[in-house]
Amino acid sequence: MSTVQIGDRKFVKYISETQIREAVDKVAAQVNQEYRNDVPIILVVLNGSIIFGADLMKKLEFPCRLSCVKLSSYEGVKTTSTVKNLIGLSESLEGQRVLVVEDIIDTGTTYAHLLPMLMQAGAKDVKIATLTFKPDSYKKPYPIDFVGMEIPNKFIVGCGMDYNGFGRNLRDIYQVVEE
């Protein structure tokens, strides 16, 4: 089994690049169905979602606009209950449909912070697409609309996701080895 060392942690290969492509295709098919008659704003949550967002955008079959926000709720391998707004909205959402693109949803803290902000900005509706979802960790009442794959509550890196800023460039997704 393939492993990588990132900082003080070892990670083992968990999800292959092929499985990631299949998950992107699955989400794209659902999103294409939902927005085939609309022109939504695709809102990518930086930094982690940049790779999934780019792969997803290439498969969308409808006109859309792209925007980004940068939020952070992780420290090391742990999610915190605090979300930091690092880069905010840069365009009007008034009357617009918005698709939030996330790399991972675990507790839902980031989405719970972002959703009211988008609705207050005048979004017509907000849906969310995520590459990975940890249903056992999710604690919020909001539906997760488009899910590439469900995973257990283990810390992962690769395909945009990081450990202390490193590992985003890995083509596969790796799971932390518990010591």
State residue 117's pLDDT score: 87
- pLDDT tops 70 at residue 153: yes
pLDDT digits (tens, 9 = 90+) for 111-133: 888 899 899 989 999 999 999 99
The whole-angstrom separation of Cα 83 and Cα 1 is 35
Percent above pLDDT 90 for the chain = 75
State residue 178's pLDDT score: 84
With 0.85 as the threshold, say if the pTM is over it: yes
Q: Which two tokens stand for residue 44?
A: 């990518």
Active site residues: 106
pLDDT digits (tens, 9 = 90+) for 86-97: 456 768 889 999
Burial-class residue 168 by CB neighbours within 10 Å (0-12, 13-18, 19+): middle
At residue 71 the predicted structure's pLDDT band, cuts being 50, 70 and 90, is confident
Specify the CATH architecture of the domain 3-176.
3-Layer(aba) Sandwich (3.40)
Select the more confidently predicted residue: 127 or 69. 127
User: Given the structure tokens 């675990």, which residue do they identify?
Assistant: 106
Are 12 and 3 contacting, i.e. CB atoms less than 8 angstroms apart? yes
Side chain identity, residue 85: N
Provide the 10 A C-beta neighbour count for residue 90: 8
Are 159 and 144 contacting, i.e. CB atoms less than 8 angstroms apart? no
Flag the least confident range among 8-22, 25-39, 57-71. Answer: 57-71
- pLDDT tops 80 at residue 80: no
The domain ranges of the chain are 3-176
